[in-house]
Amino acid sequence: MSRVLSRGETSAGHTVGVRELVPVLGAVLLLYFVVPVAVLVLTYSPAALLTSLTEAYVINAAITSLVAALGSTTIAVAFGLPLAYWLSKNTGALATAALGAVVLPLVLPPVVSGMLLLTVVGPNGLGGLTDLALTRSLLGVIAAQTFVASPFFVVTAKAAFDGIDDHLEEASRSLGRDWVGTMRSVTVPLAKPGLLAGLVLTFARAMGEFGATMMLAYYPRTLPVQIWASFISDGLDAALPVAVVLLSVALGTLLVVHGLRATPWR
């Protein structure tokens, strides 16, 4: 009897030990996320940072990123919304293959995405045949951002549409509303938090896109490309002000998505 109790006590002690270790391991990873941001905030001079933020190269990169991200996000919503709805309502082999094509840019390294785009729409591809200059142009930046960022909207919008009860749409159509009317009065309002979360995430991903943009366009420089160029030419101090702008965008994105109460990772 005492031997059985001894085993039970050992097992219980082992369970308690593992249970206490789990939050410690999680805290280590959490610190790994938080400490670099905290070090930047605590060690870099706010006055020097504010002065650097007024430099022309920072302002130009911010404007380019903002305009391009707005353009690519608009394209993602205009074309991604109907695609996400179709993917949500279809489960066949074609829909599965289409969803795989949508997810592919999410798993490809951005540099590889840029190489693929360059072979298709670069000077030796459709760009040369149509005289449409995508390299070293704002259109090229938008094209690269759209390829990398638009899947975020499609996937998030699909998840939002998946959560809608089909009977509600059927009830709307039974009352005489057509498909457009049902979408406007029932489907989109019910999916609105998820759609807005997808829109914000797409915009943030476009703002932070580096690899594909650098490969396809490079100029005009966006914030990520300017960070890389500043770091290579002048070191960390020159790159930090641009990085702070992107950090602010990232933090703002988290606040907006949290405010929408539609975080797609829940």
Domain segments of the chain: what residues? 67-221
pLDDT at 265: 47
Contact 138, 218 (CB under 8 A): no
Fold of the CATH domain 67-221? MetI-like fold (1.10.3720)
Closest CA to 103 of 151, 145, 36: 151
* pLDDT (0 to 100) of residue 206: 93
Spans of the chain below 70 pLDDT: 1-17, 48, 123-133, 260-266
DSSP for 170-187, written as a single string? HHHHHTT--HHHHIIIII
DSSP assignment string, 47-111: HHHHHHHTSHHHHHHHHHHHHHHHHHHHHHHHHHHHHHHHHHH--SHHHHHHHHHHHHHHHS-HH
Cα 27–Cα 33–Cα 36 angle in degrees, nearest 5: 125
Q: With both helix axes pointing from N to C terminus, report the angle between 138-162 and 188-208 in degrees, rounded to the nearest 10.
A: 150
**Residue 256 class from Cβ within 10 Å (0-12 exposed, 13-18 middle, 19+ buried)?**
middle
Question: Residue 112: what pLDDT?
Answer: 92
Residue-wise pLDDT tens digits, 93-131: 999 999 999 999 999 999 999 998 888 877 665 655 555
What is the pTM (predicted TM-score) of this model?
0.80
